[in-house]
Amino acid sequence: MTDADLAELPPAAARYLRAMGVVGRPRTWSMRAHLTGRFRLGVDSPWLPMDAWQYNSAVEVARLFRMRLLVGRVLPMWGWDTYVSGTGRMRGKALGLVPVADGSGPEFDTGELTTWLDDAVLMAPGMLLHPRVTWAAAGDDGFRVAVTDADRTITAEVLLDDRGLPRDVRSRDRWAALPGGPVRALWSTPVDGWTVVDGRPRMTGGAAVWHLDDGTYRYAELRLVDLVLDVPP
Question: For position 72, what pLDDT does the model report?
Answer: 81
CA angle, 174 as apex, 148 and 68 as ends, to 5°?
Answer: 105
pTM of the model: 0.96
Question: For position 94, what pLDDT does the model report?
Answer: 86
Residues of the chain with confidence (pLDDT) below 70: 97
Largest Cα separation within the chain, whole Å, is 54
Burial letters for 140-166: b for 16+ Cβ neighbours within 10 Å, e otherwise? eebbbbbbebeeeebbbbbbbeeebbb
Nearest CA to 138 out of 163, 185, 115, 171 is that of: 171
Residue pair 87/158 in contact by the 8 Å Cβ criterion: no
Residue pair 7/191 in contact by the 8 Å Cβ criterion: no
List of domains in the chain: 3-24+33-229 (2.50.20)
